[in-house]
Structure 1
Amino acid sequence: MTRRRLLALLAAAPLAAAGWFGWARRRNPYYGGPPSDHFDGLRFFHPEQPPDKSPLAAFQALQLTEKAPWPESWPSPFADKPPARVTGSRLRVTAVGHATHLIQAAGLNILTDPVWSERCSPVSFAGPKRVCAPGVAFDDLPKIDVILLSHNHYDHLDVATLSRLVARDDPRIVTALGNDVIVRANDRRARVEAYDWGDRVILGDGVTAALTVACHWSARGVTDRRKALWTAFAIDAGSAGRLYFAGDSGLFSGAHFRHAAELHGPFRLAILPIGAYEPRWFMKDQHLNPAEAVEAFGLLRAEQAIGCHWGVFRLTAEGIDAPVIALQAALREKSIPPERFRALRPGEVWEA
Structure 2
Amino acid sequence: MKRRRLFPRLGMTRALSAAASAVRRSGSSNPYYQGPVTGHFDGTRFFNPDGQAPRGFRDLLKWQLGGDKAAWPSGVGVTQHQPDHRVAELRVTMVGHATVLIQAGGVNLLTDPVWSKRASPFDFAGPARVTAPGVDFDALPPIDAVLLSHNHYDHLDLATLRRLHARFAMPVLTPLGNDTILRREIAGIDARAADWGEVLEAAGVSVRLLPCHHWSARGTRDRSMALWAAFAIETPAGRIYHVGDTGYDAGRPYTTAAEHGPYRLAILPIGAYAPRWFMAPQHQSPEEAVAGMLACGARHALAHHWGTFQLTDEAREEPLTRLAAALAAQGVDAARFRAPPPGQTWDVPA
Contact 2:206–2:235 (CA under 8 A) maintained in structure 1: yes
How does 1:221-300 map onto structure 2 within 5 Å?
Answer: 221-238=219-236, 240-262=237-259, 264-300=260-296
1:103-252 to 2 correspondences below 5 Å: 103-205=102-204, 207-238=205-236, 240-252=237-249
**Partner residue in 2 for 1:81:** 82
* Residue type of the alignment partner of 2:241: Y
Q: CA 1:63/1:345 → structure 2, altered by over 3 Å: closer, same or farther?
A: farther
1:206-265: CA deviation from partner (whole Å, max 9, x where unpaired): x21110111000000010000000001110113x11101101000112122112111x21
| Contact map agreement 1:100 1:113 (CA 8 A) in 2 | yes
C-alpha contact 2:293 2:301 (8 A) present in aligned 1:
yes
Query: Which residue number in structure 2 is paired with residue 308 of structure 1?
Result: 304
**Residues in 1 aligned to 2:277 and 2:39: alpha-carbon distance in whole angstroms:** 27
Deviation at 1:99, TM superposition (A): 0.3
Unaligned runs of 5+ in 1: 1-24
SS in 2 for 1:292: helix
Which residue of 303, 311, 317 corresponds with 2:313? Answer: 317
Output the aligned Cα RMSD. Answer: 1.2
Contact 1:62 1:317 in 2 (8 A): no
Equivalent position of 1:351 in the other structure: 347
Q: Answer yes or no: is 1:72 the counterpart of 2:74.
A: yes
Q: Which runs of 4+ in 1 moved over 6 A?
A: none
Within 1, Cα distance between the matches of 2:65 and 2:323? Answer: 25
Instruction: Give runs of aligned pairs for residues 337-348 of structure 1, distance below 5 A.
Output: 337-348=333-344
User: Residue 16 of structure 2 aligns with which residue?
Assistant: none
Q: Is the 8 A contact 2:54 2:281 kept in 1?
A: no
- Partner secondary structure for residue 329 of structure 1: helix
Cα pair 1:62 1:316 within 8 Å, conserved: no
Aligned residues: 322
Q: Residues 212 and 232 of structure 1 are in contact (CA less than 8 Å); yes or no, is this contact kept in structure 2?
A: yes
Q: Give the Å deviation of 1:81.
A: 0.7
Work out whether residues 306 and 342 of structure 1, in 8 Å CA contact, stay in contact via their aligned partners in 2.
Answer: yes
Identity of aligned residues (%): 51
3-state SS, counterpart of residue 229 of structure 1: coil
Matched-pair contact (CA < 8 Å) for 2:98–2:304: yes
Distance 1:344 1:248 in 2: 18
8 Å Cα contact 1:48/1:252 also seen in 2: no
Distance 2:300 2:320 in 1: 16
Is 1:43 matched with 2:59?
no
Counterpart code for 2:265: L
Following the alignment from structure 1 to structure 2, what is the Cα–Cα distance between the partners of residues 246 and 341? 15
Q: Report how far residue 63 of structure 1 moved.
A: 4.5
- Which secondary structure does the structure 1 equivalent of 2:95 belong to? strand
Contact kept? 1:147, 1:174, Cα under 8 Å: yes
Between the aligned partners of 1:298 and 1:233, the Cα distance in structure 2 is: 17
Structure 2: distance between partners of 1:83 and 1:345: 19
Cα 1:302–1:273, aligned 2, differ >3 Å: closer, same or farther? Answer: same
- Give the stretch that moved more between structures: 313-322 or 44-53: 44-53
SS of residue paired to 1:93: strand
Q: Is the partner of 1:303 in helix, strand or coil? A: strand
- Matched-pair contact (CA < 8 Å) for 1:65–1:279: no
SS at the partner of 1:254? helix
Q: 2:160 aligns to what SS in structure 1?
A: helix
Counterpart CA distance in 2 for 1:52 and 1:236 is 31
Is the CA contact 2:112–2:148 (under 8 Å) kept in the aligned structure 1? yes
5+ residue gaps, structure 2: 1-26
Q: Which amino acid in structure 1 is aligned with residue 323 of structure 2?
A: L
Cα distance, 1:65 vs. partner?
3.6
For 1:63 and 1:317, the matched residues in 2 are separated by 12
Once the two structures are superposed, the pairs formed by residues 93-112 of structure 1 within 5 Å of their partners are 93-112=92-111
Alignment of 1:328-339 (within 5 A): 328-339=324-335
User: Could you tell me how far apart the structure 2 residues matched to 1:256 and 1:312 are?
Assistant: 25
Does structure 2 retain, via aligned residues, the 8 Å contact 1:274–1:289? yes
**Per-residue displacement from partner, 1:67-97 (whole Å, max 9, x unpaired)?**
1110110123x3211111112xx10111100
**Secondary structure in 1 aligned to 2:313?**
coil
The residue that corresponds to 2:32 in the other structure is 30
Q: Distance in 1 between matches of 2:45 and 2:67?
A: 29
- Report the CA distance shift for 1:65/1:74 in structure 2 as closer, same or farther (over 3 A): same
SS state of the match for residue 234, structure 1?
strand
Once residues 96 and 336 of structure 2 are traced to their aligned partners in structure 1, the CA distance between those partners, rounded to angstroms, is: 20
Are the counterparts in 2 of residues 276 and 309 from structure 1 also a CA contact under 8 Å?
yes
Q: Aligned equivalents of 1:52 and 1:146: distance in 2?
A: 30
Counterparts of 2:28 and 2:60 in 1: how far apart (Å)? 23
AA matched with 2:329:
E
Give the aligned residue type for 1:243.
Answer: I
Deviation at 1:204, TM superposition (A): 2.5
Q: TM-score of the superposition, structure 2-length normalised?
A: 0.90
